[in-house]
Chains A and B, each alone.
Chain A
């Protein structure tokens, strides 16, 4: 919904994701998969219908309540990493923990960075890191507060094949270790194949649902 007014992107979506499930969202560009993910994360407001997450109707919450809900329950990974450029890797990862008032924020952030193989890069700024490293920091940031839901929007879209594969391995390993629900938008069929369930979107509608092999 830009300055040009509201645009109908998603239609007749009825979707339930069970706790601990990994769900892949696929479809051609413009099919609405990222929009669906954003609506699920409370980052975009649906113009109609309800969005229930962990028993909470997100459509009834205002912007700040949605922010607090994400802080306590969700981690988000983007295609373009979206690290804060004025913060070091450690500070980026610690930020959601700090916002939640966690006294151990920096110790946990350091451990999380070590878990993604960046123990030596804690004091580096995003501009001093490669794309793969930045995405690992973003991954650590998303998983550090141990969210119940992990949302990933084409997390390997800006990375080469090797880095992309490494990131996906880390994403799935984090999910496995912490048991979060993972909902991921991807174009890559091999990544989709690793999910418990894959939903194909076309023109804002669910075109097909396919359970993992």
Chain B
């Protein structure tokens, strides 16, 4: 055997052109293009975030403090390590217009050095220092539109009055990408002096942006700062991870979409496999002849392997060109829609990733039919010597396919860096394909059984006969349509259930408002206003501080808990004398009302279990720069689902009462009364910030909509590939249908009757594929809703019917497109051609 001989044979066979391989190329190119495009967009966003890291942060590095300004010695240290230090203050408040219109806003109070890095863009185009001079303010359009403010108008923040000088179009330190509870307002810190908003105990954070000398060692500076200011309770960030949260979010969404792209590629693989099988079926005579002439099994295998290999490279190359260039071509459009910077270029890494996925998928799906060429006997050329191709390929090929599959999964884990997500997704795809294959078998079995009851209705019986037949289109249609529709159905079910939980169910049990920053001397009056209101059903209040858990049992908290979310950043901490009403202690005991001993901590039971805490553990919590060491004395049941007050950490009163703090309150009221309550409380206590829960929920719903839209686009790519496979299957079945139509016409069937039979066949197959996909979708939706989202689940029938309707429409479109020629063919020509 010689590769050169096989290559020559392969070359001769390919001289016939790419006819019969269009679907092969389209499936592969589309799958690779989708993955390459997602990868290129993700790489573009990452490049943009890297480039703009410092601007997103507002400096080379940032030290953040909660609830307080830096002390003199801390400032001195920061000034020592940085060339310039800029101080900003960040907090939420209410902007109130002269007409008493109120809107929640996220305030950034700045100094003269702001912004250290990047530019602020205003409308009208004036300098920031001019806009902020005196009591000047700039605010995002979302806020000014909501409050009906125009430049020149005045509004209040707390008790201080400000003049809106310009609309804030763009500002550099916007790492959250615009996602926050309130639109941004920028004022000068000095202008807030009379507002009463930045008092001891109110909820604010301060950021010290550092302009570091060129070439500063960021890691060394971080280590040094953490050591030097170890009791400050600070948070360090620098340009290496200027938008760490966004970057991680983009990375995760990108990974997820690429894995969804793998689902598309798997469907494409079905089409690729079908195309190769159909091509090889037409080559049986050639293969038998070659064997008669002395070609060995391996020569035959190599001849066709090389052909498929060449076509694979062509398909992958087309996919890479499309997938790699689309994001670059549409860069201005995409960049304009993204709230974060992006830099789209031809990045080789995502293209390599897509190419490897494409090649491996093609190999996995074609090795089996290629290996079966070895089973074709030379005797096939002689009459009645058919058969033998239903046997399995040699073990070596089965093993090779399994190894390629393992390699694909292994590489996917390596590329995504997330074994959990990859294994679940690839496992899901494999499981779904397996379910679809079994469903196709079941559908064929049922169709065969249905032939008998439909005797006397030839169109129907013919349809069931064709669906049930071995080698028919049932498997291809169910596989190709099923996976795309199943993903779409799952996304639809999960999304609709989550939306319904957030938008319909949550507001019914959630409070109307969160009020924060209620000062200790205001809490009694606050409660009195609400106590007599018949529209208020419940008011919960609790003192609130913020603190960072720094150590547990003497060890770094982050290390002790393996980076649990509770120890990431600062958390709300409360104190209480009595055990709050409805509290359920799961372990340990609540402290006595007159307890004044060393600090005791009551911890949320679920989080404690996740963090590996037990009663008696020692914990240091840094509150306002002061370390408070306490002992865990009890675990409590805390629920966050109903959006009420839920503190992970509660302490005894004497441990915290001396610390400056404010109160938080949740108010449950009739929707009609909400506006009046807000007006009354806000005018009496202008420093209090009210967060309308419905607005917060809307924000979350909007974010979820974005994610589910992205997922839907991914599913759509899978569906388009599925439709291509469907077209391929229909095209491959055209010859059989032409023959069938010719025989039926000879036996006396009219064209309309044959057409009805073809239409019924396509409709039933589409219905079956849709139903299987819906079943998988409902199962997936239920599992994710119940176990991951922990929300209630119900079948969303509008979505379900769309899936089934889509299945029928797609199947009929493809089936009937390829029914035209069979119906038009002259029976004599068709039948004599087969003589």
Interface residues of A (CB under 8 A from B): 1-2, 34, 38, 41, 43-44, 63-64, 67-72, 76, 78-80, 82-87, 91, 94-96, 98-100, 103, 105-106, 130-131, 141, 153-154, 157
Contact = CB atoms under 8 A, between A and B. Distances in A.
A67 B740 contact: no
B750 interface: yes
A64 B750 contact: yes
A2 B465 contact: no
Contacts of B739: 82
A70 B465 contact: no
B521 interface: no
Of B472, B742, B831, most buried by chain A (CB within 10 Å of CB) is B831
Given A84-B740, A86-B465, A86-B469, A34 B832 contact: yes
Contacts of A131: 383-384
A64 B461 contact: no
B747 A63 contact: no
Contacts of B749: 67, 71, 99
A157 B750 CA distance: 29
B828 A43 contact: yes
B456 interface: yes
Nearest to A100: B748
B835 A98 contact: no
Of A69, A72, A78, A131, most buried by chain B (CB within 10 Å of CB) is A78
A91 B457 CA distance: 12
Interface in B726-756: 736, 739-740, 742-753
B632 to A, nearest CB: 72
B451 interface: yes
B473 to A, nearest CB: 11
B748 A94 contact: no
A70 B455 contact: no
A99 B747 contact: yes
Which 7 A-B residue pairs are closest in the complex by CB-CB distance? A71-B748, A86-B469, A43-B828, A64-B750, A44-B828, A98-B458, A96-B747
A44 B468 CA distance: 32
A84 B451 CA distance: 15
- Categorize the interface residue count of chain B: 35 or more
B456 A98 contact: yes
A98 B457 CA distance: 7
A82 B738 CA distance: 12
A130 B383 CA distance: 11
A94 B747 contact: no
B686 interface: no
Interface in B577-625: none
A64 B748 CA distance: 8
A95 B456 contact: no
Contacts of A64: 750-752
27 contacts: A34-B832, A34-B835, A41-B746, A43-B827, A43-B828, A44-B826, A44-B828, A63-B745, A64-B750, A67-B748, A68-B750, A71-B748, A78-B831, A80-B835, A82-B746, A82-B834, A83-B743, A91-B451, A91-B465, A94-B455, A95-B462, A95-B744, A98-B461, A99-B747, A99-B749, A103-B456, A105-B455
B747 A85 contact: no
Contacts of B472: 86
Contacts of A70: 746-748
Contacts of A84: 465, 740, 743-744
Contacts of B743: 82-84
Interface string B131-162: 00000000000000000000000000000000
Given A67-B750, A82-B746, A84-B744, 4 more contacts: A43-B826, A68-B748, A106-B455, A131-B384
Of A2, A71, A95, most buried by chain B (CB within 10 Å of CB) is A95
A96 B469 CA distance: 20
Given A38-B832, A82-B831, A95 B747 contact: yes
Contacts of A71: 747-749
Of B468, B740, B828, most buried by chain A (CB within 10 Å of CB) is B828
A95 B746 CA distance: 11
Contacts of A91: 451, 461, 465
A63 B752 CA distance: 11
Nearest to A70: B748
Nearest to A130: B384
Contacts of B750: 64, 67-68
Interface string B430-473: 00000000000000000000010001111001100110110010
Given A63-B745, A70-B748, A80-B835, A105 B829 contact: no
Given A64-B752, A67-B749, A99 B835 contact: no
Given A64-B751, A96-B748, A87 B465 contact: yes
Contacts of B748: 67-72, 96, 99-100
A157 B832 CA distance: 13
Contacts of B827: 43
Contacts of A103: 456
